[in-house]
Amino acid sequence: MEEKSEGVAEGYTVTPESTVRHRTPIEDLGLPVRVYRALMRAGLDSVGKVVALERAALVERVAGLSDEMAGEVVAALLRHRATGPLVDEVPTDVLVLGGAGVDTVVRVAALPVPFADSVPAPGITEYAGHTGTGVAVGCAALGLRACLVDFFGRDPQADIVLQRLRDSGVTVTVLPARRTRRSVNLVDPSGRRMSFYDGQDEPGTRVPEETLRRLLRDARHVHVSIMDFARQVYPLLDGRSSSTDLHDWDGASTYHEDFAYSSDLVFLSSAALGPRTPEVMRRILDRGRAHTVIATDGAAGGRYLTRAEGTVRPYPAVTGTPAVDSNGAGDAFVSGFLYAHLNDLPLKTALHAGAIAGHHACTTPGIHTTPLSLTTLLPHLNPTP
C-alpha cells in the first residue's frame, strides 16, 4: 500500500509562496553588481520599493538601467516569489503541459551494467525530474514566467516535485492521479544514462477543458510534453505558439505523430535516428505545421531545419567543463532556446542559448538542481548574424 501524503489536494493551483517580505533588502535578490548599484543610487533599497513600480517607471526612474537590466530585476523578483505591479503585469510566458515526476538516479561504474545479483551503487538519490519539470524550472530560472499543469498522486513523490517547482517560482495546477510518475536512471562516470520510465497515466486521463482554456488565456507559448493527455491541447491553441520534445523518437512510432505534426517548434534527439535524422526532420516539416525542427546530438551539437530555408544545417555544441551527468540536458536546451525565441532573438542565438543551457546541465550532478541563470547566460548571447 502506498504511503499517503497530505500535500496534494485535487484540482488546485500551487502558486509560489505569497511574497518575499517587502522590507527584504535588494542585496538578497542576488542581482548583478551593476544592477544592484543602479537601484541603490535611485533609492530603491528594498524589494517592496522595486516591485511596486511598473517596468516603464522603473527604467525611467533608475539612471543607466536598460530594458535588459530591468528584465534581470524582474527575473530575480520572480525567483524570489515577490508580487506587485512589476511582476504581476507579466503574463505566463510558457505553459507546460505534463511531464512531471520523480527520478531516482543510480550511479554505476559502467554502462551497460554487468549482470550480477548485487552491484554497489553509492549515492542513490531522488530528484524532482522528468521533462516537464525540467523545462518549467529552466524557463523560470531564465526569468520567464512558467506554469505547469499535470496529474499527481497523493504520495511523497508529489511532495518532492511540487516543492521543487514551488521553490523555483513555477506556478502549478495540480490534478488528481493514482500515483506520481517515476523513473530510475542509471548514470555512468562520463554522464551517460539509461532510463527506466514508469509513467503510464490512467486510461482516459484528461485535463478538464475549462481548466485548460483558463490556463491558455494568459499563455504566450505552450510546451506540450509527450503525455497522451497533453495532445488534447492542440485544437484549443487558437493561434498560440507551441513546442514539443519528441525525445528519442524512432521516426516510426505513431504515438508521437500528433505531437510531431501539430507543434510549431519541434525538438527531438538524434539518438535513435542516427543517419536518418535529416529525413525525419524533413518529414516533420512536410506533414506538419512546424516552422523549425531541431535535432540535438549531445557532444556533437545538432542540426536544425526551418521551413523558410529548407536545408538541414548543423549547429555546434558548447564545450568546456567536463560532463558529469547528462540527465535533464535536453530539457535545459529547450528552456534556453525558448528564452531566446520568446525574446525575439535570432535563430542561431537561440540555438546557442539552448546549447549553453544543455551543456550547463551536463556539468552539474543531479537533475534540474542548478539550472542556468539569466545572469550566467546573457554575457554569452551576442546575437549571431
Q: What would the pLDDT profile of 284-331 be if each residue is shown by its tens digit? A: 999 999 999 999 998 899 999 999 999 999 999 998 877 777 778 999
Question: What pLDDT, in 10s, does the model give residues 79-90?
Answer: 666 767 776 655
What local confidence, expressed as pLDDT, does residue 383 receive?
Answer: 47
Going from N- to C-terminal start, the domains of the chain cover 26-82
| Furthest-apart CA atoms within the chain: distance in Å | 68
What local confidence, expressed as pLDDT, does residue 384 receive?
Answer: 46
275 half-sphere exposure, CB direction, 13 A CA radius: 0
Instruction: Give the CATH fold of the 26-82 domain.
Output: DNA polymerase; domain 1 (1.10.150)
Is the backbone peptide bond immediately before 112 cis, with ω within 30 degrees of 0? yes
* Chain centre to alpha carbon of residue 87: 20
Residues of the chain with pLDDT under 70: 1-22, 79-81, 83, 87-90, 366, 382-385
What local confidence, expressed as pLDDT, does residue 5 receive?
Answer: 41
Q: Which residues are 182's β-sheet partners?
A: 102, 198
Supply angle C-alpha 8, 329, 226, rounded to 5.
55
Task: Answer yes or no: are the C-beta atoms of 142 and 373 closer than 8 Å.
Answer: yes
**pTM of the shown model:** 0.78
What local confidence, expressed as pLDDT, does residue 187 receive?
Answer: 84
Q: Which residues are 239's β-sheet partners?
A: none
